[in-house]
Amino acid sequence: MYRFIETKGTDGAPLFFTFHGTGGRPEQLHGLAETLVPGAHVISPAGDVSENGAARFFRRTAEGVYDMDDLHARADNMRNFITDKVARIQPAAVFGIGYSNGANILAAVHLNGPRQFDSIALMHPLIPWTPAENDAVKDTKVLITAGRRDPICPATMTQKLADWLTVSGAQVNLHWHEGGHELADSEVVALQSQFAPASGAR
Protein backbone atom coordinates (compact mmCIF):
# COMPACT_ATOMS: atom_id res chain seq x y z
CA MET A 1 0.00 0.00 0.00
CA TYR A 2 1.14 3.53 -0.67
CA ARG A 3 2.77 5.84 1.80
CA PHE A 4 0.76 9.07 1.80
CA ILE A 5 0.06 12.31 3.57
CA GLU A 6 -3.44 13.43 4.41
CA THR A 7 -5.31 16.57 5.38
CA LYS A 8 -8.63 15.81 7.02
CA GLY A 9 -11.33 18.17 5.80
CA THR A 10 -14.83 18.89 6.99
CA ASP A 11 -17.61 16.31 6.80
CA GLY A 12 -19.15 16.11 3.33
CA ALA A 13 -16.41 18.21 1.69
CA PRO A 14 -14.76 17.17 -1.59
CA LEU A 15 -11.74 14.88 -1.56
CA PHE A 16 -8.62 15.70 -3.58
CA PHE A 17 -6.01 13.16 -4.60
CA THR A 18 -2.72 14.67 -5.77
CA PHE A 19 0.04 12.90 -7.67
CA HIS A 20 3.57 14.28 -7.84
CA GLY A 21 5.97 14.29 -10.80
CA THR A 22 9.09 12.14 -11.22
CA GLY A 23 11.44 12.75 -8.32
CA GLY A 24 8.79 14.67 -6.43
CA ARG A 25 7.29 14.13 -3.01
CA PRO A 26 3.69 13.87 -1.79
CA GLU A 27 3.95 17.49 -0.61
CA GLN A 28 4.51 18.76 -4.18
CA LEU A 29 0.83 19.48 -4.90
CA HIS A 30 -0.73 18.81 -1.51
CA GLY A 31 -0.70 22.38 -0.24
CA LEU A 32 -1.98 23.69 -3.55
CA ALA A 33 -5.00 21.37 -3.36
CA GLU A 34 -5.72 22.60 0.17
CA THR A 35 -6.06 26.17 -1.14
CA LEU A 36 -8.39 25.34 -4.04
CA VAL A 37 -11.39 24.34 -1.93
CA PRO A 38 -11.13 25.41 1.72
CA GLY A 39 -12.10 22.59 4.04
CA ALA A 40 -11.48 19.86 1.45
CA HIS A 41 -9.93 16.51 2.30
CA VAL A 42 -6.57 15.99 0.56
CA ILE A 43 -4.66 12.72 0.14
CA SER A 44 -1.29 12.63 -1.62
CA PRO A 45 0.41 9.26 -2.18
CA ALA A 46 4.11 8.79 -2.82
CA GLY A 47 5.24 7.00 -5.95
CA ASP A 48 6.37 3.47 -5.12
CA VAL A 49 8.79 2.98 -8.03
CA SER A 50 12.39 4.18 -7.82
CA GLU A 51 14.16 5.27 -11.00
CA ASN A 52 17.76 5.87 -9.96
CA GLY A 53 16.44 7.15 -6.66
CA ALA A 54 13.67 9.29 -8.16
CA ALA A 55 10.15 8.35 -7.05
CA ARG A 56 7.66 7.49 -9.80
CA PHE A 57 4.27 5.79 -10.02
CA PHE A 58 5.23 3.23 -12.71
CA ARG A 59 8.25 2.00 -14.61
CA ARG A 60 9.50 3.13 -18.00
CA THR A 61 12.26 1.83 -20.23
CA ALA A 62 13.20 5.21 -21.74
CA GLU A 63 11.91 8.77 -21.87
CA GLY A 64 8.32 8.49 -23.11
CA VAL A 65 8.51 4.68 -23.39
CA TYR A 66 6.41 3.02 -20.72
CA ASP A 67 6.44 -0.49 -19.32
CA MET A 68 2.76 -0.96 -20.14
CA ASP A 69 2.33 -4.15 -18.10
CA ASP A 70 3.71 -2.36 -15.06
CA LEU A 71 1.56 0.70 -15.75
CA HIS A 72 -1.62 -1.39 -15.90
CA ALA A 73 -0.75 -3.25 -12.69
CA ARG A 74 0.10 -0.07 -10.79
CA ALA A 75 -3.00 1.71 -12.10
CA ASP A 76 -5.05 -1.17 -10.66
CA ASN A 77 -3.23 -0.76 -7.33
CA MET A 78 -3.90 2.96 -7.34
CA ARG A 79 -7.55 2.39 -8.20
CA ASN A 80 -7.86 0.13 -5.14
CA PHE A 81 -6.13 2.74 -2.98
CA ILE A 82 -8.54 5.44 -4.17
CA THR A 83 -11.59 3.22 -3.68
CA ASP A 84 -10.56 2.48 -0.10
CA LYS A 85 -10.04 6.15 0.79
CA VAL A 86 -13.29 7.28 -0.84
CA ALA A 87 -15.25 4.62 1.05
CA ARG A 88 -13.72 5.80 4.33
CA ILE A 89 -14.26 9.52 3.79
CA GLN A 90 -17.50 9.52 1.74
CA PRO A 91 -16.83 12.93 0.19
CA ALA A 92 -19.23 15.17 -1.70
CA ALA A 93 -17.06 14.83 -4.82
CA VAL A 94 -13.72 13.30 -5.81
CA PHE A 95 -11.07 15.39 -7.56
CA GLY A 96 -7.62 14.51 -8.89
CA ILE A 97 -4.57 16.62 -9.72
CA GLY A 98 -1.41 15.18 -11.26
CA TYR A 99 1.76 16.67 -12.69
CA SER A 100 3.93 14.92 -15.30
CA ASN A 101 4.34 11.30 -14.13
CA GLY A 102 1.59 11.95 -11.61
CA ALA A 103 -0.68 13.15 -14.41
CA ASN A 104 0.07 9.95 -16.31
CA ILE A 105 -0.93 7.60 -13.48
CA LEU A 106 -4.03 9.71 -12.86
CA ALA A 107 -4.89 9.51 -16.56
CA ALA A 108 -4.35 5.73 -16.59
CA VAL A 109 -6.76 5.33 -13.67
CA HIS A 110 -9.36 7.69 -15.12
CA LEU A 111 -9.23 6.57 -18.76
CA ASN A 112 -9.08 2.81 -18.29
CA GLY A 113 -11.12 2.01 -15.23
CA PRO A 114 -14.56 2.54 -13.77
CA ARG A 115 -15.38 6.12 -12.90
CA GLN A 116 -13.76 7.33 -9.69
CA PHE A 117 -13.33 11.07 -10.29
CA ASP A 118 -15.80 13.85 -10.95
CA SER A 119 -13.12 16.30 -12.06
CA ILE A 120 -9.40 15.96 -12.76
CA ALA A 121 -6.47 18.14 -13.78
CA LEU A 122 -3.73 16.61 -15.90
CA MET A 123 -0.73 18.93 -15.83
CA HIS A 124 1.78 18.16 -18.59
CA PRO A 125 0.60 14.59 -19.26
CA LEU A 126 2.25 12.26 -21.78
CA ILE A 127 -0.10 9.49 -22.93
CA PRO A 128 1.68 7.55 -25.71
CA TRP A 129 -1.12 5.04 -26.15
CA THR A 130 -4.64 5.20 -27.53
CA PRO A 131 -7.10 4.52 -24.70
CA ALA A 132 -9.88 2.01 -25.19
CA GLU A 133 -13.41 3.35 -25.42
CA ASN A 134 -14.77 3.92 -21.93
CA ASP A 135 -18.18 5.37 -21.08
CA ALA A 136 -16.94 6.11 -17.55
CA VAL A 137 -15.20 9.31 -18.69
CA LYS A 138 -18.41 10.79 -20.11
CA ASP A 139 -19.48 14.02 -18.40
CA THR A 140 -16.36 14.18 -16.22
CA LYS A 141 -14.57 17.52 -16.12
CA VAL A 142 -10.98 17.34 -17.37
CA LEU A 143 -8.48 20.19 -17.31
CA ILE A 144 -5.29 19.63 -19.30
CA THR A 145 -2.46 22.14 -18.89
CA ALA A 146 0.64 22.11 -21.05
CA GLY A 147 3.53 24.12 -22.44
CA ARG A 148 3.65 24.65 -26.19
CA ARG A 149 7.45 24.17 -26.09
CA ASP A 150 7.49 21.22 -23.68
CA PRO A 151 10.38 18.94 -24.76
CA ILE A 152 9.01 16.01 -22.75
CA CYS A 153 5.31 16.17 -23.64
CA PRO A 154 4.89 17.12 -27.33
CA ALA A 155 2.02 19.48 -28.04
CA THR A 156 0.65 17.16 -30.72
CA MET A 157 0.22 14.34 -28.21
CA THR A 158 -1.41 16.66 -25.69
CA GLN A 159 -3.90 17.77 -28.33
CA LYS A 160 -4.55 14.14 -29.30
CA LEU A 161 -5.44 13.32 -25.68
CA ALA A 162 -7.75 16.32 -25.44
CA ASP A 163 -9.47 15.34 -28.69
CA TRP A 164 -9.99 11.75 -27.51
CA LEU A 165 -11.52 12.92 -24.25
CA THR A 166 -13.81 15.33 -26.06
CA VAL A 167 -15.04 12.63 -28.43
CA SER A 168 -15.60 10.39 -25.40
CA GLY A 169 -17.97 12.95 -23.89
CA ALA A 170 -15.74 14.55 -21.25
CA GLN A 171 -15.97 18.28 -20.58
CA VAL A 172 -12.45 19.27 -21.61
CA ASN A 173 -10.61 22.50 -20.92
CA LEU A 174 -7.18 22.62 -22.60
CA HIS A 175 -4.94 25.36 -21.20
CA TRP A 176 -1.66 26.24 -22.92
CA HIS A 177 1.23 28.41 -21.84
CA GLU A 178 4.17 29.40 -24.02
CA GLY A 179 6.85 27.67 -21.95
CA GLY A 180 8.06 24.13 -21.51
CA HIS A 181 7.61 21.44 -18.85
CA GLU A 182 7.63 23.87 -15.94
CA LEU A 183 4.45 24.83 -14.12
CA ALA A 184 3.30 28.36 -14.95
CA ASP A 185 1.28 30.76 -12.81
CA SER A 186 -1.52 30.64 -15.39
CA GLU A 187 -1.95 26.92 -14.65
CA VAL A 188 -2.79 27.70 -11.03
CA VAL A 189 -5.44 30.14 -12.23
CA ALA A 190 -6.86 27.38 -14.48
CA LEU A 191 -6.92 25.00 -11.50
CA GLN A 192 -8.80 27.55 -9.42
CA SER A 193 -11.45 27.75 -12.11
CA GLN A 194 -11.64 23.98 -12.53
CA PHE A 195 -12.17 23.28 -8.85
CA ALA A 196 -14.41 26.15 -7.84
CA PRO A 197 -16.42 25.19 -4.72
CA ALA A 198 -19.51 24.20 -6.72
CA SER A 199 -17.52 22.13 -9.22
CA GLY A 200 -18.32 18.44 -9.49
CA ALA A 201 -20.69 18.21 -6.51
CA ARG A 202 -22.48 14.88 -6.49
Q: Does 184 map to a domain? A: yes
Number of domains in the chain: 1
Task: For residue 108, name the pLDDT band (cuts at 50, 70, 90).
Answer: very high
Residue 200 lies in a domain: no
In a domain, 199, yes or no: no
pLDDT, tens digit (0-9, with 9 covering 90-100), for 41-87: 999 999 999 999 999 999 998 887 899 999 999 999 999 999 999 99
Q: What is the mean pLDDT of the chain?
A: 94
Reported as a single tens digit per residue, the pLDDT across 167-183 is: 999 999 999 999 999 99
Say whether pTM exceeds 0.85. yes
Provide the domain limits for residue 66: 4-194
- Above 60 in pLDDT, residue 201? no
CA pair distance 23, 141, nearest whole angstrom: 28
pLDDT band at 198 (very low <50, low <70, confident <90, very high): low
List the CATH number of the domain containing 185.
3.40.50.1820
DSSP per-residue codes, 120-186? EEEES----S-PPP-GGGTT-EEEEEEETT-SSS-HHHHHHHHHHHHHTT-EEEEEEESS-SSPPHH
Residue 201 located in a structural domain: no
